[in-house]
Amino acid sequence: MQVNFKGVTADYQIGPIRSRNILHHVNLCLPSKSFTAIVGHTGAGKSSLLKTVNGLLLPKEGKIQVGDQTITPELQSKVVLKHVRQSVGMVFQFPESQLFAETVEQDICFGPMNFGVSKEEAKKSAKDAILNVGLEEAVLSASPFSLSGGQQRRVAIAGVLVMNPDVLVLDEPGAGLDPQGKEEILTLIKYLHESKGITTILVTHDMDDVARYADDVVVMEKGKVVTYKPVHTFFNDVVQLHAWSLDLPEARRLQLRLEEEANVKLPKVCLTIDDLVAALIEVGLA
């Protein structure tokens, strides 16, 4: 499902209190089945952009098209939002803080049952979802609050996956997980993206994750989209990355340091450790 932002401007104005604009004229078209990483300084508007995708933040100007639904400033129709929210799955920062039910099963079933799915069917999907995120079925009867942070995160993600979203929007899903847990969650997201063709939008600060999982990168700065490029092209332009004060993936960073200090040129842009190992052996440095 395609997500298309057209001239989107938004702020968090409530009543008479004005806040600064959080998004300024964002134009961005993310094709169906793409995997896009959104990066940028804290406060650049990344999370706000995600919120406009399912109407949690309505635009002040412009519109957002999600599939054949359109979110506009004057949107009054609950029907549109309902459709949008059914197709856009949203995983917030620290999603485990939204767990509330007595058991994991009730928590996961909450979403589908709100959208009119029968209890039996919801339970069946809950079982699939919990296995999908790599937990055991036995967890379903446990209280979500007896689980560890990493397990809670998985339960929260299962609660989103159970809705079978066409678009999955994730705000730093790996934050606070141990390296292994983080890798598992992201590998899972990548797998779901590939096997189900879910359009995936991932906010992250970790350039290694960008290099490993995403196809395209969006850079946001002060509420604007300043670039939108395929991953490989993006990490090629070191000068520009530096200007945005963005990091490089570890492999690329070490490659550049080596190229300078050893005065060699590796045959290609190395984004992962395996790229780097292969390139080092190829040129005979290691």
Partner 1 sequence: MVADKTIIEVDNLTFRYDLRKKKQILSAISFSVKQGEWIAVVGDNGSGKSTLARLLVGLLEPENGTITIDGIQLNEETKWDIRKKIGLVFQNPENQFIGTTVQDDVAFGLENNNTPYNEMKQIVEEALQLVEMDMYWDQDPSRLSGGQKQRVAIAGILAFKPNVIILDEAFVMLDPKSRNQLLSTLKQLREKRNITIISVTHDMNEAAIADRILVMDDGTIIQDSTPEAVFKTNQQLAAPFPEQLRRKLAESGSNVPQTYMTEDEMVRWLCK
Which residues in this chain contact partner 1 in the complex, by CB under 8 A? 12, 19, 39-44, 46-48, 93-94, 97, 148-151, 171-172, 175-182, 205, 207, 245-247, 250-251, 254, 257-258, 261-262, 273-274, 276-277, 280-281, 285-286
Q: How far is the CB of 245 from partner 1 (least distance, A)?
A: 4
Q: Which residues contact 189 (CB under 8 A, 6 or more apart)?
A: 168, 170, 173, 200, 202, 213
Q: Please report how close the Cβ of residue 48 comes to partner 1 at its closest, in angstroms.
A: 8
Range 105-111, long-range pairs (CB < 8 A, 24+ positions): 105/140, 105/141, 107/144, 107/155, 107/159, 108/140, 108/155, 108/158, 108/159, 108/162, 109/162, 110/159, 111/159, 111/160, 111/162, 111/163
Nearer Cβ to partner 1, position 36 or 69?
Answer: 36
Q: Which helix (H) or strand (E) holds 43?
A: none
CB of 170 to partner 1, least distance (A): 13
What is the C-alpha to C-alpha distance for residues 85 and 159, in angstroms, rounded to an integer?
Answer: 13
Q: How far is the CB of 140 from partner 1 (least distance, A)?
A: 19
β-strand partners of 30: 3
Q: Which is nearer to partner 1, 19 or 195 (CB)?
A: 19
Nearer Cβ to partner 1, position 239 or 286?
286
Shortest gap between Cβ of 212 and partner 1 (angstroms)? 13
Is the Cβ of residue 122 or residue 248 nearer to partner 1 in the bound state?
248
Give the number of other CB atoms < 10 A from CB of residue 155. 25
Considering the complex, state which of residue 109 and residue 246 has its C-beta at the smaller distance from partner 1: 246
